[in-house]
Chain A
Amino acid sequence: MIRFENVGMRYGTGPEVLRDVSFTLEPGTFHFLTGASGAGKSSLLRLMYLAHRPSRGLITMFGHDVASLKRAELPPLRRRIGVVFQDFQLLDHLSALDNVALPLRVAGAKEGQVREHVAELLSWVGLGDHLNDKPATLSGGQQQRVAIARAVITRPSLLLADEPTGNVDDRIGMRLLHLFEELNKLGTTIVIATHNEMMIERFGYARMVLDKGMLQHLPRNATATRIA
């Protein structure tokens, strides 16, 4: 469903931050994406959530060659992708509820269904008492759960999370991962960029390792080796 072939990426006229990246993600799989800071994890995710075009190579998303897509054809594809950003990117003038409702409204959902659906999910992630709170009044961990709820509210086919356990203690981190596992069981393909070795060992999913813009793909339960 997602296929990268010899993909390169650069920002503007800068150097390539990703080089010759090739991999395939089958539907319903779960992957960790690791690598040192600056290795290109966030950049690779940007390519996957169609916020950036590759400078070379072929990207196929849900059966579409991304390079051949017109601008107007991108929104329907993007709606099948949920993203948890490293810095959450919550809108600070909107309540938790309205933040999570955003992808539904963007997709043109009926307002009557939106509220109920969103309130239910927020309760499920333990924010039932904070529906109308603005992000600024929430703790870091609470904001993160709002960001995750927003990413999964539409039941996306692909969930991309950029260091979602970065700012929370291990206990909450584990709970978030269990949430992603639940989603994965419902059929969502999941890619989580993370530094957290303990988490990777513990869950043992396949991992993609980035090193200076090059990718190594390791199957389930394999141990990482450094790329020379």
Chain B
Amino acid sequence: MFRTHYDLPLQRDVTGRFLPWIIALMVYLAILALAGSMVLSGMAQRWDRGLAGTLTIQVPPLPDGQPSLDARVESALGVLRATPGISRAEPLKSEQMAGLLEPWLGDGALSAGLPVPALIDVTMSGGRIDVRGLAQRLKAAVPGAEVDDHAAWLKDVLTIARAVETVALGVVALVGGAAVATVIFVSRAGLAIHGAVVELLHVMGAPDRYVARQFQSHVLGLAVRGGIAGTVLAAATLFGLTRASGEFSAGLMPDMSLTPLQFLSLAGVPLIAALLAAVTARLTVMRALARLP
């Protein structure tokens, strides 16, 4: 494709000069948007899988310590065991609590005697249970106990993920539209600038597709250059982000890495962009030529 003989000196046209930049921007944004939505939906999926069918019960200690936190946890467990549809209810061990709290409060938060609530991990045996009724019964037995079913939170996370995805796709569509418009402009301008040569080629018996191929190869060359630049920049950005998130959020954030298959589909973005540009150039030229007498 790069060995096409350029009968039309399209490389000299200044109109094509911005095309690689626009394609680079489009590819850059598209890769980031795609990677972002992959990470988000991966996260949402993992949360969904991990959390659906679980509850967390929070039992705060009373100010005067009577009854003791352990006793309150025991009564909460009693209520939970009496509730049908719950397969497992287990208080978090103090080492687990320490692990959870450590990033915020530092080592030894528990032993320092801070009034930390106890957490009970509850697994439901499937099907829906009446979370509100359970919360009421728990509150009656253990004043101050709270039920967190994660569902509301998970819904929020998914909504945000969808919104981010939509905005990202919108931006990619906008930039893609700009790239298509630029290709159309470059092609039309090229036809106008080189009208005499195009006529000469026709007089020599060149079919429209021969002329179109010249534009197509030219635009493809520009788009490939832009696509490579955009891909390199996006790869650098992703690498930087992954490293940064890896450094400060160890353990806190679910892991942000992508699978090899996902990386492969990101590499498809510049290919699609180049294809889009080349096809647009071809169609533009073919349509313009078809209107000639």
Contacts and interface: CB of A to CB of B under 8 A. Distances in A.
Given A91-B7, A94-B7, A106 B204 contact: yes
B203 interface: yes
Given A53-B293, A91-B197, A78 B5 contact: no
B62 interface: no
A126 to B, nearest CB: 23
A83 B278 CA distance: 32
Interface string A91-105: 101100010011101
B14 interface: no
A71 to B, nearest CB: 7
Nearest to B194: A91
Contact of A79 (B7, B199, B204): B204
A107 B204 CA distance: 9
B7 A78 contact: no
Contact of A75 (B196, B205, B290, B293): B205
Interface in A90-124: 91, 93-94, 98, 101-103, 105-107
A66 B286 CA distance: 22
Contacts of B290: 71
Q: Give the bracket for the number of chain B residues in contact with chain A.
A: 20 to 34
B206 interface: yes
A198 interface: no
A75 B7 CA distance: 17
Contacts of B202: 51, 74-75, 78
A76 interface: yes
A49 B207 contact: no
Contact of B205 (A71, A76, A94, A101): A76
Interface residues of A, number: 26
B207 A98 contact: no
Contacts of A131: none
A50 B7 CA distance: 21
A126 B292 CA distance: 38
B240 interface: no
Interface in B49-103: none
Nearest to A89: B200
A81 B292 CA distance: 20
A228 interface: no
B7 A103 contact: no
Contacts of A80: 205
B9 interface: yes
Greatest chain A CB density within 10 A among B5, B202, B205 is at B205
13 contacts: A49-B203, A53-B293, A72-B208, A75-B207, A91-B9, A93-B9, A93-B12, A101-B5, A102-B7, A102-B204, A103-B204, A103-B205, A106-B210
Given A71-B208, A89-B200, A103-B204, 16 more contacts: A51-B202, A71-B290, A71-B292, A75-B202, A75-B205, A76-B205, A77-B205, A78-B204, A81-B205, A83-B203, A91-B7, A93-B9, A105-B5, A105-B7, A106-B210, A107-B205
Interface of B: 5-7, 9, 12, 196-197, 199-208, 210, 290, 292-293
